Structure 1
């Protein structure tokens, strides 16, 4: 059965090492859209970090959708109408913050509009995230954010510091939250009912599509959930070796326009 929905990760997948969409990837996505295929960006980024790409790829029109915050938010791109919005409670935020301090790791939490950190010495990866996703940073104490709706929290630090913190995470946290490592310096913490897999499944059901009509393309651990729920999981050549184990197909690397190769070989061919 032909593929009618493709969920595509951004970093390490859609974009090359220069964080650009190659002409080959651009054209493949346009050809897929012209063939009636839904191409849906599925990313850990918040919505402001995706808007320029949606515009560049013409994925901001009626009938287009986007998955952000690793599945915490699913919305129509043209109207902003939300299909899924999963947020952390204030109690969740406080517990995540307390544990970050205990483990000695930098942290921040993100709403639809900004990045909030209680780290007086703001971590450099918080600054990196702000630049990457075009969102402002706000220094606020935990008491000052009781009214905020955080879609996700992040532990962000040098890889060796972050890995040491991850090794000490209590099982109770894994039972309570969705926890995914998206880069060597990012650990993302979301509501238990939020992940890319749940988001893709919900969207496919809304569009009356079967599992066999869905494809996902990704490269990292935070893509696992969506790769596991689609009929055609595709992993980039530059992808995590553990994630490659669950792939039906391995496409070319992000620097070789692997998304374009996958679309042309397994969707449009």
Structure 2
């Protein structure tokens, strides 16, 4: 019997209109009623998931959420931080210096805010702030507080330009940080210990849930680590090929209530 379901948001939980359908919500509530722990696991900041947590009623005393691709795990009832793994100022400075060499804009987060060091603010930064309903601040790198806890940094650009940036990142950078391409225009850079898979593994162990009792559902490259960890990794029909290749189960697309279908087949037996 599965005891924990970890679900990505964009391209998975939500359809392309950024809606959680009644079918998906009903399936999640039915899984909860069976005693299954449902955990949102997303690259979004915590501010970008609070309304979703409330909508899905995932805020009981022993409920958790994974944000920033695993950098922050938080109790949704008490707001207590279970784990937080961040970058520091020196990391940000190094990543920013490389962005200048590669001519790639970036933005970065602390826990509650989005920052850009670019006077000409990227449309992708504006998009990020809007989607997550998070404050956007202009902050030059040399004015960043040295003690700021930086959840993640993102290289942002048109897909073709971002691909060129990725191709020119030095090899030692790949060893020093975790990189996840969450969309064709976002490359996320995190502490090397951070991944969705590591966060779900640690959370399952805290809850005394075995690996084989875990379902993880996702569509993007940043979901790969949790799909690989899960007892049953579930790929959306709209998932990238690398996710489909490692998943044990493929469900319908995010526009076809794919999360509901997976829960019905794997958990509810309908």
Question: TM-score normalized by structure 2?
Answer: 0.98
- Give the structure 1 partner of residue 234 of structure 2: 234
- Give the structure 2 partner of residue 44 of structure 1: 43
- Give the structure 2 partner of residue 264 of structure 1: 264
Q: Deviation of residue 29 (structure 1)?
A: 0.3
1:15 aligns with 2:14: yes
Q: Deviation of residue 140 (structure 1)?
A: 1.1
Structure 1 runs (4+) deviating above 2 angstroms are none
How far apart in 1 are the matches of 2:112 and 2:65? Answer: 16
How far apart in 1 are the matches of 2:90 and 2:148? Answer: 12
How far apart in 2 are the matches of 1:181 and 1:70? Answer: 11
1:130 aligns with 2:129: yes
Please show how residues 88-99 of structure 1 align to structure 2 within 5 Å: 88-99=87-98
Question: TM-score normalized by structure 1?
Answer: 0.98
Question: Unaligned stretches of 5+ in structure 1?
Answer: none
Q: Deviation of residue 111 (structure 1)?
A: 0.7
Query: Aligned to 1:245, what secondary structure does the other structure show?
Result: helix
1:155 aligns with 2:155: yes
- Give the structure 2 partner of residue 119 of structure 1: 118
Query: Aligned to 2:18, what secondary structure does the other structure show?
Result: coil
1:194 aligns with 2:211: no
- Give the structure 1 partner of residue 167 of structure 2: 167
Q: Contact 2:224/2:242 (CA < 8 Å) preserved in 1?
A: no
- Give the structure 1 partner of residue 219 of structure 2: 219
Q: Contact 2:88/2:147 (CA < 8 Å) preserved in 1?
A: no
Q: Deviation of residue 60 (structure 1)?
A: 1.5
Q: C-alpha offsets along residues 131-157 of structure 1, whole Å, 9 cap, x if unaligned?
A: 011111111111211232111000011
Q: Contact 2:179/2:187 (CA < 8 Å) preserved in 1?
A: yes
Query: Aligned to 1:24, what secondary structure does the other structure show?
Result: helix
Query: Aligned to 2:147, what secondary structure does the other structure show?
Result: coil
- Give the structure 1 partner of residue 29 of structure 2: 30
Q: Deviation of residue 15 (structure 1)?
A: 0.1
1:68 aligns with 2:75: no
How far apart in 2 are the matches of 1:113 and 1:40? Answer: 20
How far apart in 1 are the matches of 2:111 and 2:46? Answer: 7
How far apart in 1 are the matches of 2:101 and 2:136? Answer: 23
Q: Deviation of residue 130 (structure 1)?
A: 0.2
How far apart in 2 are the matches of 1:113 and 1:26? Answer: 27
Q: Deviation of residue 88 (structure 1)?
A: 0.1
Q: C-alpha offsets along residues 247-267 of structure 1, whole Å, 9 cap, x if unaligned?
A: 100000000100000001011
Query: Aligned to 1:135, what secondary structure does the other structure show?
Result: coil
